[in-house]
Amino acid sequence: MSTTDRRRLAGIEERHSKTCRSRDGDRCTCTPTYQASVWDARTAKRIRRTFPTRTAAKQWRSDAQSAVRAGDLSADRGPTLRDAVAAWLDGMRAGVIVNRSGDPFKPSAIRGYEQALRLRVLPVLGDRRVREIEPQHVQAMIDGLVADGLAPATVEAALTPLRAFYRRATARGDVRANPTLRIEKPGVRPKPKVTASPAQAVALLDALDADDRPLWALAFYAGLRRGELIALRWDDVDLASGVIHVRRGWDDVEGEIAPKSARGRRRVPIPGVLRDVLVEHRMTTGGTGRLFRSQRWVQSANDRARRRWTDAGLPVLVLHGARHTFASLMIAAGVNAKALSTYMGHANIAVTLDLYGHLMPGNEAEAADLLDAYLARAGGTAPVPAPDDAAASRDASTVARTVAPPAEAR
């Protein structure tokens, strides 16, 4: 048996250039490389790698044999990222793949993922195998986007679907490690939320045409999302019991869709200021079908409001800004965070606290005074100067509203 055959059987083959004299039996005249290989019985294929030194080849082969036995290395390289994300997006569209809350992805979210992948990710990483993409590859892609002058939010939008894809692939064992973790990227600084005070909300509504007022009143005083406003039907509005039933949303391409999440299907109270507007709107429209004519009409109403408020020198809000106003008004009124989370249709209370925690009543000194007053009255601390009866009543009411959830929430 020749030396070459023995080396091949050992799993390491010394390879020479085509012009090397060793091929004719003479002394080597090139710098050889060393190809190591291991056998993958699962795929009945051999895995090969080439190294500049025999030592490196032997080390890799030893590690590779262990990895093959453990199932961490395979001759099957798997699909490219381009093919894999295409199947992933198809699964989202079919409702087979759901988000982390267990809800189907919204059509608009799927379109956003597809666009970010197509424009930013696949041109750089699309031809690489899913299992072979490393953190340095993802980091190089991000660095390239930053060098191109893209805004931090755009860079974040490019990374988000890739993270979601690999989070699922890692959880299912399709890849050994998630290459999107610990990636350096520019921080996204959210813009301050524009909200209206109670007096400003009244002035903003008064400046509108009567036809447009109900749309904005629902946004200011019920906090419905734009899509929920477009899809709202009179059958969903129970003026007798003072409740709006949010049962559906709206997508600009797909039309009527299910609510954003399981928590999106909810009951929202109708305050008196909103009830008066809705009663008048029902009398004007006949109270059947949808409250608002169409998606296009809602967009036109948004444009008309912007012009009216600009001409009147008032703050200019979009419909989602009016939704933020609803949250701020509810917090100022003393509605607890759990109830507000339900009315807003947030997936969980953490979302509400993250978005609006800074608006929760009381600064540090006021919060400490409220707690001292409550504990003193409850006998939980040393006596402190008691407030007068009226102030004590106000303190107790504030603490109760801030701490205790309503009976239905409990």
Residue pair 409/338 in contact (Cβ under 8 Å)? The answer is: yes
Joined together, the tokens standing for residue 110 give 């799927």
What does the domain layout of the chain look like in residue ranges? 3-70, 81-171, 198-357, 361-403
Across the range 182-195, mean pLDDT stands at: 86
Q: What is the mean pLDDT of residues 141-161?
A: 95
pLDDT for 360 equals 65
What is the reported pLDDT for 161?
97
Residue closest to 195 by CA, chosen among 87, 81, 320: 320
> Does residue 258 register a pLDDT over 50?
yes
Q: Which of 208, 282, 211, 290 is nearest to 247 (CA)?
A: 290
**Across 55-79, average pLDDT:** 83
pLDDT at 370 over 90: no
Q: Which H or E run includes 238?
A: strand 237-238
pLDDT band at 355 (very low <50, low <70, confident <90, very high): confident
Report d(CA 274, CA 124) in Å as an integer. 52
Do the domains spanning 81-171 and 198-357 agree at the CATH topology level? no
CATH H-level, domain 198-357: superfamily: Intergrase catalytic core (1.10.443.10)
Q: What is the mean pLDDT of the segment spanning 281-298? A: 93
pLDDT at 380: 54
What pLDDT is recorded for position 42? 80
For residues 347 and 101, the answer to whether their CB atoms sit within 8 Å is yes
Q: Does domain 81-171 have CATH number 1.10.150?
A: yes
What is the percent of the chain where pLDDT is above 70? 86
Mean pLDDT of 233-257: 93
